[in-house]
Chains A and B, each alone.
Chain A
Amino acid sequence: MNVVFAIIAVVTIAAGVAAMSLRNLVHCALALTVAFAGLAAAYLQLGAQFVGFTQILVYIGAVAILIVFAILLTRGSEPAQQPIISSGWIAGVAVAVIVLAVLVYAIGKSSIRDSKVPPAAEVTVRQIGDALMNKFVLPLEVVGLLLTAALIGAVIIAMKEEKK
């Protein structure tokens, strides 16, 4: 438990809470970006450099921008004084709190609570590339196919409907 982890945890959780609770949607998207950056810092702290930079590229560079675009495209019709949370919010918050309590209880009871820290492994991008091209080549192809299909599907769904 060091200082860096404490800072990362506090910033990430605060940004997550802000992303879920602010009224202005653009502020929510910006808070979400901070949460993604905090997670990327956590990955770097854990020694997974490649995943950390992938997180920055994909989430901050692409997903956050996509969300901002969607917010700006769908704004304008929302009445300002509407409540931002739905009517059944007590049940939703109760479910989330119960899930959190169960997870924390399970972590606290398990043997990992005082497990030893093994030495960090050196993982180079070359090793990751080798693994992707040899051992994991079939999943890689499947993900490529999935991304192509998803992007074509997204374009078709978002295309303007033909006037009949």
Chain B
Amino acid sequence: MSPLAGYLILSAFLFSIGLAGALTRRNAIIVLIGIELMLNAANLNFIAFWRFSEHPEALTGIMFVIFSIGVAAAEAAVGLALIIAIYRHYKTTNVDEVNSLKG
């Protein structure tokens, strides 16, 4: 097995773990953590393909990951603010109990 395949399989495992957590856990913060894991798995794919590509001097993989980290930081900030607002309103972070839009 080549190193590229090894990194891709590691990334696939991380993505599946994050997906399983995001789909099964009841706490909204853990769901957000699962989404962060999935984003990081995608970033690992970008870096692995960049490292083992024919033209690594083009820097495209690194650039994509830098911008992806920036967008993920914005996503985490807004997501956690939403969770805090929901907690203030419903007094819970359990996603199974937050099931009405008008509250």
Contact = CB atoms under 8 A, between A and B. Distances in A.
Interface in A42-85: 42-43, 46-48, 50-51, 54-55, 58-59, 62-63, 66-67, 69-71, 73-74, 77-78, 82-85
- Report whether over half of chain A's contact residues are helix, strand or loop; otherwise say mixed: helix
A35 B26 CA distance: 21
Contacts, number: 249
Contacts of B30: 20, 25, 28
A8 B24 CA distance: 26
Contacts of A48: 47, 50-51, 61-62, 65
Nearest to A17: B17
B3 A1 contact: yes
Interface string A17-36: 10111000100110010011
Given A54-B66, A123-B59, A150 B77 contact: yes
Interface of B: 1-10, 12-21, 23-27, 29-30, 32-34, 36-37, 40, 43-44, 47-48, 50-54, 56-57, 59, 61-63, 65-67, 69-78, 80-85, 87-88, 91-96
Closest 9 CB pairs of A and B: A92-B23, A20-B21, A150-B74, A96-B20, A121-B56, A100-B16, A103-B12, A154-B81, A158-B81
5 contacts: A35-B40, A43-B47, A116-B2, A120-B56, A158-B84
